[in-house]
Amino acid sequence: PGMQQPGMAGAAPGGAPHNPYAQAQSALATGSNTLKITQYALIGVGALTAISGLFWMIMGSFIGGLSTLITGVVLAVVAFTVLPQFMGMMKQSTAMVDGLAAKAQLAQTGLPATASVIAVQQTGRMVNYNPEVSATLQVTHPQTGASYQVQSTSVVPQIAIPQVQPGAQVPVRINPQNPMDVVLAL
């Protein structure tokens, strides 16, 4: 009932904050499971093919059996050497997306505060055509009044880049459990 904002399907008022990385996290989990199943399938098919190649060689057709045996060995080698490399890449991608999701959640649910930008530089990584920056911030904690310096890495929308310059005041969100965990809230 009623209108929902795009990308907010299933979000209930007062419910958990919208996770802009949920679809990527789901796709990576599915991809990791698919690679694991593919690895087991290649091991099984490779073993059966190699065994049938040996059987065929023994029963009379040496050339046909040898080619079948080689095919089985190649499938097993791919399962044990190539697929683990892809699985490692999937784990790295999952860790990166999980980190971005955690920062997005902190930006939505963290303790609001203001910080002064001391220094800022691009990390060289882009997320959805938005640059990731590493910023040194002077944060004033809203509850304790304590002022402290933190290093924060955040994805900054291109339109907000002029706001994140040395000397500028920027909105931030602070992790209540770890005040050193700060994210830009632009």
pLDDT tens digits along 102-146: 888 888 889 999 999 999 999 999 988 999 999 999 999 998 888
Q: pLDDT tens digits for 83-99?
A: 999 999 999 999 988 98
Please give the radius of gyration of the chain, using alpha carbons only, rounded to the nearest integer. Answer: 26
**What is the C-alpha to C-alpha distance for residues 186 and 53, in angstroms, rounded to an integer?**
63
Sign of CA dihedral 21, 24, 27, 29: negative
Lowest mean pLDDT among 14-18, 30-34, 38-42, 179-183: 14-18
Would the pTM of this model clear 0.75, i.e. be above it? no
CB 45 within 8 A of CB 75: yes
C-alpha–C-alpha distance, residues 77 and 164, integer Å: 50
Write down the pLDDT at residue 116. Answer: 95
Two tokens, residue 126: 């882009």
pLDDT higher than threshold 60 for residue 4 = no
User: Looking at the predicted structure, is the pLDDT value of residue 46 above 90?
Assistant: yes
Helix or strand run (H / E) with residue 140: strand 130-140
53-86 pLDDT per residue, tens? 999 999 988 888 999 999 999 999 999 999 999 9
Question: Mean pLDDT over all residues of the chain?
Answer: 87
Q: Which two tokens stand for residue 147?
A: 């002022």
Contact 135, 149 (CB under 8 A): no
pLDDT value, residue 17: 64
Taking alpha carbons only, the member of 41, 96, 50, 83 closest to residue 69 is 50
Beta bridge partners of residue 178, listed in sequence order: 175
Work out the number of other CB atoms within 10 angstroms of the CB of residue 14: 5
Q: Is the pLDDT of residue 186 over 80?
A: yes
C-alpha torsion sign, points 128, 130, 134, 139: negative
Look up tokens 């093919």; give the residue. Answer: 49
